Structure formats: C-alpha cells, structure tokens
C-alpha cells in the first residue's frame, strides 16, 4: 500500500512560484506538500535569472576596463579567466541556494517530496511511491528550452541556458540562434568577455519591445562587435571539423556561418509532459495549461502558475501568480491576474524596461493618447556617469492616466518601478510630477517626463491672464 497523504495544499514544482506558494501557505499554518523532481529553486536559481545576471555582472566589469578612457583612466584589455567566471556564477547560486533548500522548507513545516509527480485522477497525485489527496493542487512546473526542429541538430554540440553556465573554457566564437531577451542578454555578455558573437534571428531581434527603444540596444551591441543578422531562417546545422556550421536563408539567398560553439535560444516549452493532466481533466495544449483570470484550471481543485501557463515567462510574474493563488485558494478572495501592470526588463546594456502598453499597443487600444518623453542626455547624473544613451517614454490617456511606460538606458530596470506603481494604483501622470527626487539621480528622468504633462499650461491664455491679474493686485 502506498503511503497516503491528505494535505490542504499540494504544490508541484519548487521553482520561484511554487516556493512562494508553499512558504506563504505554511506560514499561515496550512498543511503543505511540495513535490520537486529536480533541483530546488528551479530554472531561475539554477539556469536562468541568477546565473545569467551573474554572468552579465562579470561582463560589465570587463567592459568597464575597456571603456574607462573618457574618465581619465587608461583603458585596459581584461584578461578573462573563464574558469573563475564560472566559479563566480556558481558561488552566487550557492549563496542564494539556502533560501530555496529542502532544509529551509522542512523547517517551515512543508513536507518536501523529491520525485516525479503525476495525476492518477482528478483529486490524486502520485509521487515517490506516495499518494497525495489534497484539497487544492498548484502546478508550478515551469518551462524548459524548446529545441528547434532543424535538420542536423542531433549531429552538433550545442548549449542551452541549462548548460552554458557550466562552461569553464574560453569560447572563441559563439553563434546564438534566437534574438529574444535570453539570446540577446547572453550574446552581449559573451561579447564583453572577449568572445566573437553572431546572432541569427528568424524575424526581428527583440521583436516584442517598442522598436524605437530596441534600436538603442541593438545599436550599442553592434558598436561593441556583436553581429546581428535578422530575417535569418536557419535551415541546417553541420559539423565543420571541430566547429559548427549554420546554414541559413535570408532575402532569397543562402548563407553559412561557422563558430566554435552554438547556443540555442529559440523559446521555451511548458513542463507538462509527465503530469498526466488528462487524468485530472486539466485542459492544456502545447503552449501550456489553460487557466482563467484567477489561475484556476478546468479542474476546480487545480491551479497553475508561472511559465507552465504559457504567458509571460519571468520569475516576478510567477511570484505575482503565487500571490493571486494564495488569495484564491486559502482565503476564497476573488483575486484576478492583471497582466497590464506586469513589468519586464531585458538586461542588456543599456537595459530595456517596459510596463503596461507600448506606444503602438496604446494607439490601437485608445486611438488618442499622449506621449511624454525625456532623454538621459538631459539628466545631470547620466552626464556624470557618461551614460547618456537612452530615453523614457510614458503613455497616458487623454485625461492623463498612465497606461504604459517604456525605458532604455542605465538602470532602466530600477527606474521603471515608479511607473509600475503608478499603473498599479491607477494614477495620473500629474501626481508623479510633484515627487521630490534627490539631486543628482537618474530618477529625475521620471519626474521630468511627468512635468511635461503641465507644459501646455505654460502658454494657456487663461492661466496667463490669472497671473497678470494677481500681479496687479500686488
């Protein structure tokens, strides 16, 4: 007889979203079972956000050494030790790991089971020889790299984001297939670490971003030597001695490019293949599990969060989903996901950040909108840091309600958060104009853009007449 467990909540997947649900529920005194088949912390800790940002941090130091001339400091070509870069990445992972460990969650009162989870029926999950009958289930199994069905892929070695951070050797030339955020972040980082890099993108690099902002990023990457080839349809991979050759079509012509290493960054697929979702009457397709605005599936006992739902694939989105599920599953509150307030950042240099609607999306939805802009070059701190390439664009309705903000430049991922708050609180742009920002800080860019809301009043005849009247009154 299999051991039977009857917890209040069973969470499948110990990535950032699943851990957030399990920790919150346990601290409320809920009986929780957490099932994980692989590493605690999931993709974010082990293969995604943490190692990639650690690599980017190392690359930024190397770039700073080369770009110090304008500050009166003699530039140096850094001697990059890839084995030490590898160690740096894994030291950062190790420093964060205890927060996501089995020991920590066991200490919180969570019953952690290491094993593959699969549904036996609508209300039962089997894992590691145990039978779990929970009041509610939360599927948080995340996603994995999607390998493109390109001929020859089985004949050549390649990296994905799950393997590239184990590399300890210098990469001479890296061919990146895929020009989305993951591909572009890693391409930029490796170029700064001294690797030749070429990016092949079937359509437009950073296609989901405002093209005006994306152009700033692409221009900077190309100025540093990253070769970016758009509209490149990869047709075949071939071994080329001890190298890899990629054959692709562009504009009706055939081309080839070879490199020492290949990185595939061609999207993600939801981790659902072994869950036996049909047994649980949970609707799904190749894009992920189908959920309503409250993240409940077609089985009223089962919720799904994060990448596995096929939506925005970011750690902070999974954590946001976790908060919605806690409100729904534990407190029976009618919480719903509002995707319009979810920010995103591409951690190239300069960073590219977005919350809400882009200008194009806003014009399609509202037709008449106002756009307020402010360049980094008009910010004193940006001048001092010589980080003047970039700008902010804020989109509002005709009445001034903030419906989107796009930013490219130094620390854009930090600065966009003010606009995330404005959208979350349904604020008008005028409210942000009265904020006092310390001088000199990059945050003044946000305030200056907001002040532009009042620019038309400077030439308003009525206001000028009022000022004139008050002047006459002494």
pLDDT single digits (tens) 1-50: 679 999 999 999 999 999 999 999 999 999 999 999 999 999 999 999 99
Q: Is 65 annotated as a binding residue?
A: no
Q: Is 148 annotated as a binding residue?
A: no
Tell me, yes or no, whether 236 and 299 share the same domain.
Answer: no
The answer to whether position 467 is within a domain reads: no
pLDDT at residue 454, rounded to an integer: 79
The answer to whether position 31 is within a domain reads: yes
**% of the chain residues with pLDDT over 90:** 94
Q: Is 225 annotated as a binding residue?
A: no
Confidence of residue 368 (pLDDT cuts 50, 70, 90): very high
Residue 455 pLDDT greater than 90, yes or no: no
Cα dihedral value 335, 339, 340, 345, nearest 10: 130
The answer to whether position 7 is within a domain reads: yes
Tell me, yes or no, whether 201 and 57 share the same domain.
Answer: no
CA-nearest of 244, 239, 283, 281 to 264 is: 244
Tokens of 59: 């690359």
The answer to whether position 243 is within a domain reads: yes
SS3 257: strand
Tell me, yes or no, whether 106 and 185 share the same domain.
Answer: no
Average pLDDT over residues 267-294: 97
Q: Is 53 annotated as a binding residue?
A: yes
CA-nearest of 310, 276, 3 to 122 is: 276
Single residue among 287, 311, 339 that ends a domain in this structure: 339
SS3 98: helix
pLDDT at residue 172, rounded to an integer: 98
Instruction: Please name the residues in contact with 287: beta carbons below 8 A apart, sequence gap of 6 or more.
Output: 270, 310
Q: Please state, in angstroms and rounded to a whole number, the distance separating the CA atoms of residues 126 and 147.
A: 29
Q: Is 258 annotated as a binding residue?
A: no
Confidence of residue 450 (pLDDT cuts 50, 70, 90): very high
- Domain of residue 379: give its range: 350-459
Tell me, yes or no, whether 131 and 10 share the same domain.
Answer: yes
pLDDT at residue 2, rounded to an integer: 77
CATH code, domain carrying 182: 3.50.50.60
The answer to whether position 388 is within a domain reads: yes
Average pLDDT over residues 378-403: 97
Confidence of residue 456 (pLDDT cuts 50, 70, 90): low
Q: Is 178 annotated as a binding residue?
A: yes
**% of the chain residues with pLDDT over 70:** 97
Tell me, yes or no, whether 59 and 9 share the same domain.
Answer: yes
CA angle, residues 106, 112, 117, in degrees to nearest 5: 170
Tell me, yes or no, whether 361 and 454 share the same domain.
Answer: yes
Q: Please state, in angstroms and rounded to a whole number, the distance separating the CA atoms of residues 49 and 409.
A: 20
- Residue 440 main-chain phi, psi, to 5 deg: -95, 125
Q: Is 201 annotated as a binding residue?
A: yes
pLDDT at residue 453, rounded to an integer: 86
Residue 211 pLDDT greater than 80, yes or no: yes
Tell me, yes or no, whether 306 and 355 share the same domain.
Answer: no
Q: Is 179 annotated as a binding residue?
A: yes
Single residue among 266, 292, 309 that ends a domain in this structure: 266
CA-nearest of 330, 310, 215 to 268 is: 310
Total number of domains constituting the chain? 3
The answer to whether position 410 is within a domain reads: yes
Q: Is 143 annotated as a binding residue?
A: yes
* CA distances (Å), origin 324, targets 313, 321, 338: 16, 5, 10
Please give the sequence-ordered ranges of beta strands (E in DSSP) within 178-332, or none if there are none: 196-200, 227-229, 233-240, 243-250, 253-259, 261-264, 268-270, 284-285, 288-289, 302-304
Mean pLDDT over each residue of the chain, to the nearest integer: 95
The answer to whether position 469 is within a domain reads: no
pLDDT at residue 302, rounded to an integer: 98
pLDDT at residue 367, rounded to an integer: 86
Single residue among 306, 339, 372 that ends a domain in this structure: 339
The answer to whether position 472 is within a domain reads: no
Q: Is 141 annotated as a binding residue?
A: yes
Tell me, yes or no, whether 124 and 256 share the same domain.
Answer: no
Q: Is 307 annotated as a binding residue?
A: yes
118 contacts 274 by C-beta, under 8 angstroms: yes
Instruction: Please name the residues in contact with 133: beta carbons below 8 A apart, sequence gap of 6 or more.
Output: 4, 5, 6, 123, 124
CA-nearest of 105, 118, 92 to 19 is: 105
Average pLDDT over residues 394-423: 97
SS3 310: coil
Tell me, yes or no, whether 262 and 365 share the same domain.
Answer: no
Tell me, yes or no, whether 204 and 290 share the same domain.
Answer: no
Confidence of residue 468 (pLDDT cuts 50, 70, 90): low
Tell me, yes or no, whether 244 and 282 share the same domain.
Answer: no
CATH code, domain carrying 445: 3.30.390.30
Q: Is 1 annotated as a binding residue?
A: no
Average pLDDT over residues 294-310: 97
Tell me, yes or no, whether 362 and 453 share the same domain.
Answer: yes
Q: Is 181 annotated as a binding residue?
A: yes
Beta strands 130-132 and 124-127 are antiparallel
């Amino acid at each position: 007889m299999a051991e039977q467990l009857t917890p209040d909540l069973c969470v499948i997947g110990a990535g950032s979203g699943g851990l957030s649900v399990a920790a919150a529920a346990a601290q409320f005194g809920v009986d929780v079972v957490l099932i994980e088949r692989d590493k605690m912390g999931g993709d974010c800790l082990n293969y995604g956000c943490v190692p990639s940002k650690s690599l980017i941090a190392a690359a930024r130091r190397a770039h700073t050494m080369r770009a110090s001339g304008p500050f009166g400091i003699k530039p140096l070509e850094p001697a990059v030790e890839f084995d030490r870069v590898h160690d740096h990445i894994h030291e950062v992972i190790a420093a964060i790991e205890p927060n996501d460990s089995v020991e920590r969650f066991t200490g919180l009162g969570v019953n952690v089971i290491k094993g593959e989870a699969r549904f036996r029926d609508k209300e039962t999950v089997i894992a590691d020889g145990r039978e779990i009958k929970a009041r509610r289930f939360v599927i948080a199994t995340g996603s994995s790299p999607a390998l493109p069905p390109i001929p020859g892929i089985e004949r050549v070695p390649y990296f994905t984001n799950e393997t590239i951070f184990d590399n300890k050797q210098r990469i001479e030339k890296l061919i990146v297939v895929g020009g989305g955020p993951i591909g572009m972040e890693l391409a930029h980082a490796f170029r700064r670490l001294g690797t030749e890099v070429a990016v092949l993108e079937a359509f437009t690099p950073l296609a989901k971003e405002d093209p005006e902002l994306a152009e700033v990023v692409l221009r900077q990457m190309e100025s540093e030597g990253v070769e970016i080839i758009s509209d490149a349809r990869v047709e075949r991979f071939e071994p080329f001695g001890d190298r890899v050759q990629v054959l692709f079509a562009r504009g009706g012509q055939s081309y080839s490019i070879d490199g020492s290493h290949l990185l595939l960054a061609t999207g993600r697929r939801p981790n659902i293949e072994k869950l036996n979702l049909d047994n649980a009457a949970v609707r799904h397709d190749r894009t992920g599990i189908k959920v309503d605005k409250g993240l409940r599936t077609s089985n009223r006992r089962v919720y799904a969060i994060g990448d596995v739902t096929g939506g925005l694939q970011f750690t902070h989105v999974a954590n946001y989903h976790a908060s919605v599920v806690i409100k729904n599953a534990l407190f029976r509150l009618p919480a719903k996901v509002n995707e319009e307030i979810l920010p995103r950042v591409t951690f190239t240099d300069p960073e590219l950040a977005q919350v809400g609607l882009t200008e194009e999306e806003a014009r399609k939805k509202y037709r008449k909108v106002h756009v307020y802009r402010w360049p980094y070059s008009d910010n004193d701190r940006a001048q001092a840091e010589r980080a003047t390439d970039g700008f902010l664009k804020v989109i509002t309705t005709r009445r001034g309600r903030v419906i989107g903000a796009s930013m490219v430049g130094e620390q854009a991922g930090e600065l966009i958060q003010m606009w995330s708050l404005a959208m979350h609180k349904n604020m008008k742009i005028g409210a942000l104009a009265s904020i006092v920002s310390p001088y000199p800080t990059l945050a003044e860019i946000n305030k200056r853009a907001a002040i532009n809301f009042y620019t038309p009043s400077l030439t308003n005849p009525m206001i000028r007449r009022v000022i004139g009247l008050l002047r006459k009154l002494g």
